[in-house]
Amino acid sequence: MSARKLPAPQPNPETQAFWDGLGEGVLRIKTCEACGKAHYYPRHICPHCGSAETRWLDTRGEGEIYSLSVMRRGDGAPFAVAYVTLDEGPALLTNLVADDLDALAIGQRVRLAPQARDAEAIGDGPSLPFFTPSGD
Amino acid sequence: MSLRNAACIAGAFEHPTRLAPDMTTPQLHAECAAGALADAGLSLRDVDGYFCATDAPGFGPISMIDYLGLTVRHTDSTEMGGCTYIQHVAHAAQAIAAGKCSVALITLAGRPRSEAVQRFRPGAPEAAFEQWVGLTNHTSYGMCAARHMHEHGTTSEQLAWIKVAASHHAQHNPHAMLPKVVTVEDVVNSPMIADPLHRLDCCVTTDGGGALVVVSPEIAKTLNRPVISLLGAGEATKGPAGGLGLDLTVSAAAQSGPRAFEEAGVTPADIKYASIYDSFTITVLLQLEDLGFCAKGKGGKFVADGNLISGTGKLPFNTDGGGLCNNHPMFRGGITKVIEAVRQLRGEAAPAVQVSNCDLAVATGIGGSLGARHGAATIILERQS
Ligand SMILES: [Zn+2]
């Protein structure tokens, strides 16, 4: 089975700060001065209230697994796709990196692991916001 | 404006092919159009409205109308993934009620087994945050199933009953891709694809297509076919909502379903037959709950023990074998959901699975990715006596 090819994200003016943050080991999301709610993925205009008064928020990069599914077939399998609910509120879609994918469970605490990317597969693209169990 | 009795489905055709290496996609659209028009007793000349989605090659309706040789005064290329064609029936009824057309043709076709097909248009705002994740439909729907199991104790065996019921129906369909009856054990022992979904929790991939003809009530009465009226319709979309609205146990059908039932003035208890989009077993389970056939979290119990099998179960579903066993042309099962509902209402389903006195049916579907952002469309159809 061949290695998994991860398409490199293409930063744009709306999202550049997010990718820059990951390069520094920080998961940066957007929050809104008008309604006080955070959102992910980052947008210029707040999806909760429509205000343009959004600003970047450095998260602690911690959260818990909302749901997950381990892909068992195809290139690079097995790998774990998951939603992680950040302590700051928003859930994000990610991959979980762990020695034992079968031990991962809903409700488990996880933390950002941007260094866990497969550099060969990504090439020159930015770091990716993978997560890993907090204990690891 | 209500859509109640605003239009009728006069023609329905499911292409018999499941593998079409020697045909073109436009040709499949044309053969489906011809089939549905012949079924209605109409011709290409009668069509004054045309509906298609992104499976139509080229410049959508502009390419296809010219290719098919149509002359229309109304077009609609609404796109909502696999459930689009359920939504097209409602949109056709809207156009007919507004006087914009009186004979609407809806076509779907594609050859995903025979050629590389582009399923997603580039430039989606979420792409940079999700493409590298490996969110295939398998993992997307797998996460929905995993969360439903976590919150409600749903089991793989219960999900398997959905596939078992579909296979019981498919054995009577000579065109079904998978006509063999399977057991709960067969499903849960099939290879794991994306936890907790096994190979037999997944639908088939097929070349093929289908078409529908939606007409005004006045025209329907002149045709030598049973009159199948639209009673109500609903549509909705749902997504992670900035990450604060994520709930993988509830689909957009929780909005489209009640809207359709309210407009129709009927309840789930009145439904004799249900066509329910079955890209995966979990897709069916969520929609059954969301449409109100059972309470949220009780779907596993509802589908177990053959309750969806025609003749023995309380709610006969997908009597053609559905996407799980029969056909899922171009990864889009919406049109076959409508087609089998029309067969049931006309009394033209396979005799072994025909529901007796089937005068009220629902067709409902999900389009897009259930575990990310998706749409839902629901229609309620009635046979006029
Ligand atoms: Zn806001």
Domain assignment of residue A11, yes or no: no
Cβ pair B322, B200 in contact under 8 A: no
Looking at residue A125, its pLDDT comes to: 67
Please determine, for residue B89, whether its predicted confidence score (pLDDT) is greater than 80. Answer: yes
Radius of gyration of chain B (CA): 19
* Cβ–Cβ gap A66/B246 under 8 Å: yes
**Closest Cβ opposite residue A47 in set B128, B192, B241:** B241
pLDDT 10s digits, B147-185: 999 999 999 999 999 999 999 999 999 999 999 999 999
Domain ranges of chain B: 8-115+207-229, 135-205+231-383
Q: What is the mean pLDDT of residues B127-147?
A: 92
Chain A partners of B137 at a C-beta cutoff of 8 Å?
none
**Closest Cβ opposite residue A67 in set B136, B138, B248:** B248
Please determine, for residue A136, whether its predicted confidence score (pLDDT) is greater than 80. Answer: no
Looking at residue B135, its pLDDT comes to: 87
Looking at residue B231, its pLDDT comes to: 98
Domain assignment of residue A41, yes or no: yes
pLDDT 10s digits, B292-336: 999 999 999 999 999 999 999 999 999 999 999 999 999 999 999
pTM: 0.97
What is the total count of domains within chain A?
1
Q: Can you tell me the distance from the alpha carbon of B176 to that of B170, in angstroms, rounded to the nearest whole number?
A: 6
Average per-residue pLDDT for chain A: 90
Does A67 lie at the interface with B, CB-CB under 8 angstroms? yes
Q: How far is the CA of A36 from the centre of ligand 1 (A)?
A: 6
Domain assignment of residue A34, yes or no: yes
Looking at residue B120, its pLDDT comes to: 66
Chain A partners of B156 at a C-beta cutoff of 8 Å?
none
Pairing type for strands B208-215 and B197-198 reads: unpaired
Q: Record the tokens describing residue A20, joined without a space.
A: 């820059």
pLDDT 10s digits, A56-114: 999 999 999 999 999 999 988 999 999 999 999 999 999 999 999 999 999 999 999 98
Pairing type for strands B8-14 and B197-198 reads: unpaired
Please determine, for residue A123, whether its predicted confidence score (pLDDT) is greater than 80. Answer: no
Cβ pair B365, B86 in contact under 8 A: yes
Looking at residue B162, its pLDDT comes to: 98
* Cβ–Cβ gap B128/A11 under 8 Å: yes
| pLDDT level of residue B372 (50, 70, 90 thresholds) | very high
Please determine, for residue A120, whether its predicted confidence score (pLDDT) is greater than 60. Answer: no
Q: How far is the CA of B110 from the centre of ligand 1 (A)?
A: 42
pLDDT 10s digits, B220-240: 999 999 999 999 999 999 999
Q: Which residues of A2-21 are buried (b: 16+ CB within 10 A; e: fewer)?
A: eebebebbeeeeebebbbeb
**Closest Cβ opposite residue A91 in set B132, B197, B246:** B246
Domain assignment of residue A5, yes or no: no
Chain A partners of B146 at a C-beta cutoff of 8 Å?
67-69, 106
Looking at residue A72, its pLDDT comes to: 97
The domain in which residue A40 lies consists of: 16-133
ipTM, two decimals: 0.95
Class of the B8-115+207-229 domain? alpha beta
- Judge whether B8-115+207-229 and B135-205+231-383 match in fold: yes
* Cβ–Cβ gap B138/A71 under 8 Å: yes
Looking at residue B119, its pLDDT comes to: 65
Q: Can you tell me the distance from the alpha carbon of B267 to that of B380, in angstroms, rounded to the nearest whole number?
A: 10
Chain B partners of A44 at a C-beta cutoff of 8 Å?
none
Residue B300 distance to chain A (closest CA, Å):
19
In CATH, the architecture of B135-205+231-383 is 3-Layer(aba) Sandwich (3.40)
Domain assignment of residue A56, yes or no: yes
Average per-residue pLDDT for chain B: 97
pLDDT 10s digits, A12-51: 999 999 999 998 899 999 999 999 999 999 999 999 999 9
Domain assignment of residue A85, yes or no: yes
Residue B135 distance to chain A (closest CA, Å):
7
Return the bridge partners of A82, or none: A68, A94
- High-pLDDT (> 70) share of chain B, %: 99
Domain assignment of residue A1, yes or no: no
